[in-house]
A and B are shown apart, each in its own frame.
Chain A
Amino acid sequence: DARVTQTPRHKVTEMGQEVTMRCQPILGHNTVFWYRQTMMQGLELLAYFRNRAPLDDSGMPKDRFSAEMPDATLATLKIQPSEPRDSAVYFCASGLDRDGSYEQYFGPGTRLTVT
């Protein structure tokens, strides 16, 4: 049963520290999305990759956030330096771009708490 995996599942860190979240998309999928979920803002799209190339990161605070895909099996989201307002659940999703529409498969999320 193919699934998107995310590590770590939980992360508690102090303000100012660097945080790196990792995602392994489903094998064969060519698109990867990073979302952030909070009670106040709901589900926000942070970044979007197709064939490892960043297509849209307009939802991501550029000064402290960065997203990369070093290879087809790994996507990373980094926050440096972290702030308490970054506390949220971060989801990765992957999909197969076909005929313009497709299902996104979500990972279990990384719950980040910045103190």
Chain B
Amino acid sequence: AQSVTQLDSQVPVFEEAPVELRCNYSSSVSVYLFWYVQYPNQGLQLLLKYLSGSTLVESINGFEAEFNKSQTSFHLRKPSVHISDTAEYFCAVQEWGATNKLIFGTGTLLAVQP
């Protein structure tokens, strides 16, 4: 069965510092990978996704994630964070040809401090 592990429940970081949010997955077949962001009192929004092709994917607000098949990882990075990036970030996996279900990790709270 597939699973997603986000080891860090909370990541505090100062504004303009770089950040990495870790995500590892487990699956016996090929997968699609996603990062979703949840701002306070809101629903989840797709941040970026890996379906195929280039293993490095980027979002419009400066985040990027790299699919590493050998390490079964999909870590999220940003070179310089803003206060407005404070939110909960969820990694999710979907197996190819499966029932289109997303399996979510437990989330990482990115807390950006001035």
Contacts and interface: CB of A to CB of B under 8 A. Distances in A.
B44 A50 contact: no
Nearest to B94: A101
B101 A45 contact: yes
A50 B99 CA distance: 10
Q: Which 3 A-B pairs have the closest CB atoms?
A: A106-B43, A106-B44, A101-B32
Chief secondary structure at chain B's binding surface: loop
A103 B104 contact: no
A71 B101 CA distance: 21
- Chain A at the B interface: SS class: strand
Given A106-B43, A109-B43, 13 more contacts: A42-B104, A42-B107, A43-B104, A45-B101, A45-B102, A48-B99, A91-B44, A97-B100, A100-B97, A102-B100, A103-B49, A104-B102, A108-B43
Contacts of A107: 43
B101 A103 contact: no
Interface of A: 4, 31, 33, 42-43, 45, 48, 50, 55-56, 91, 93, 95, 97, 100-109
Contacts of B73: none
A101 B100 contact: yes
A104 B94 CA distance: 11
Contacts of A43: 44, 90, 104, 107
Contacts of A100: 96-98, 100
Contacts of B107: 42-43
